[in-house]
Amino acid sequence: MNSIRHRAKYTEGGAVQARRGPPAAKRPRTDVGAEQTGWPGVATRDTRVGGVGGRPLPIAGGPWFNVPVPKTFDQVGIAAVAEYWNARPCNIRHSPKDVGSREYFDEVEARKYFVEPHILRFAEFPRWRGKRVLEIGCGIGTDTINFARHGARVTAVDLSERSVEIARQRAQVFGVERQVTFHVANAEELSQIVPVEPYDLVYSFGVLHHTPNPDRAIAQIRRYTTAGSTLKLMVYHRRSWKVMEILLGYGKGRVWDLERLVARYSEAQTGCPVTYTYLTRGIPRLLAGFRIREMWVDHIFPYRVPEYTRYRYVRTWSVRAMPAPVFRWLERHFGWHLCVTAEALAPSGPPNHTAVKAQLL
């Protein structure tokens, strides 16, 4: 499969190793804004975000059908995004218990880490004891509380007032409220609300693909880092089982409508106003000013939705039909969560050669 042959593996130290495919120099160079997505005829959204210095990159046609990619999400108002997440904060139905009770929060956490166990590996909660953590898009605070429980001092931010309210309540329920400072703020204008100070870790899980201009959020995040600060970012992965399911299931193969379809069906509640997806090779461009240390994909949701909404875990027939190692292989190659760990470079440091090299892959 072509998509696998060209996959890049990022390792500690920023080195980029191509897995199996031909050496970078022999591969055809794709033009900015017209990289292939792995799905026929669809240009990547991520080629347009995160241009150097936050400058948007040009819009270009898809590689095969030459269809202009519409400017779908960067014109969406931030109020629409806030309204969507206020109407149903992320994971709020992870427990049927009373919202705000200890049992409720315990069940939310148990379900989240049962369904998304890779979060524990990614966040490395114990590592941040005694450190300063800035969490962008904390939602109802599952990871926030775990950073605090492990001894980190946390500043947690979300656009959704309702989410922050619940997360704040959660910190009180678990007695860590003195360790966490909450703010309702837009990541794209963070410095208007959150005092600019350096953090050891900036953590953002499943957030920046929902903001209309992720490159602006990254430029803001950069201000909260110093040379050596860590950035841990999870964004949605375009070359994924989930995108394929949306495209073939809901979309009946309408590749030209992919952006809209993915946004519509990416979350538990339909109609998310903004959902970008990324290829690994688009990430270095998004993360200007950072050196990528590690990048991997994981997570295919394996359960039947009707049972899942009733807190029962029944695997879909396609997942049941395949041996566990095959499913795991699929998760590691076509998972929905693209997890990136990067290190902030000194503001006046050398250009990010890792990023330049990675774009060739």
CB-neighbour burial class of residue 107 (10 A; exposed 0-12, middle 13-18, buried 19+): middle
Angle, in degrees to the nearest 10, between helices 161-173 and 78-87: 50
Which residue carries 């970012």 as its tokens? 233
Binding mask 284-303 vs ligand SAM (x if CB under 6 A, - otherwise)?
Answer: --------------------
Q: Tell me the residue type at 62.
A: G
The number of beta carbons lying within 10 Å of the beta carbon of residue 286 is 23
Three-class secondary structure of residue 29 per DSSP: coil
Number of residue whose CB is nearest ligand SAM: 139
Q: Select 139 or 251, whichever has its Cβ closest to ligand SAM.
A: 139
Binding of residue 206 to ligand SAM (CB under 6 A): yes
Rounded CA-CA distance 311/94 in Å is 8
Binding mask 240-259 vs ligand SAM (x if CB under 6 A, - otherwise)?
Answer: --------------------
Q: Select 160 or 229, whichever has its Cβ closest to ligand SAM.
A: 160
CB-neighbour burial class of residue 57 (10 A; exposed 0-12, middle 13-18, buried 19+): middle
Q: Shortest approach of ligand SAM to residue 164 CB, angstroms?
A: 9
Q: Shortest approach of ligand SAM to residue 271 CB, angstroms?
A: 14
Q: Shortest approach of ligand SAM to residue 127 CB, angstroms?
A: 18
48, 153, 210, 299: which one binds ligand SAM (CB under 6 A): 210
Binding of residue 211 to ligand SAM (CB under 6 A): yes
Number of residues that bind ligand SAM (CB under 6 A): 23
Q: Tell me the residue type at 229.
A: S
Which residue carries 């656009």 as its tokens? 159
CB-neighbour burial class of residue 6 (10 A; exposed 0-12, middle 13-18, buried 19+): buried
Q: Select 115 or 314, whichever has its Cβ closest to ligand SAM.
A: 115
Rounded CA-CA distance 274/68 in Å is 19
49, 60, 187, 261: which one binds ligand SAM (CB under 6 A): 187
Q: Select 84 or 327, whichever has its Cβ closest to ligand SAM.
A: 84
Site for ligand SAM in 135-164 (CB under 6 A): 136-139, 142-143, 157-160, 163
Binding of residue 85 to ligand SAM (CB under 6 A): yes
Rounded CA-CA distance 118/83 in Å is 29
Name the helix (H) or strand (E) containing 161.
helix 161-173
Q: Shortest approach of ligand SAM to residue 282 CB, angstroms?
A: 19
Binding of residue 90 to ligand SAM (CB under 6 A): yes
Chain residues binding ligand SAM by CB under 6 A are 81, 85, 90-91, 136-139, 142-143, 157-160, 163, 186-188, 205-207, 210-211
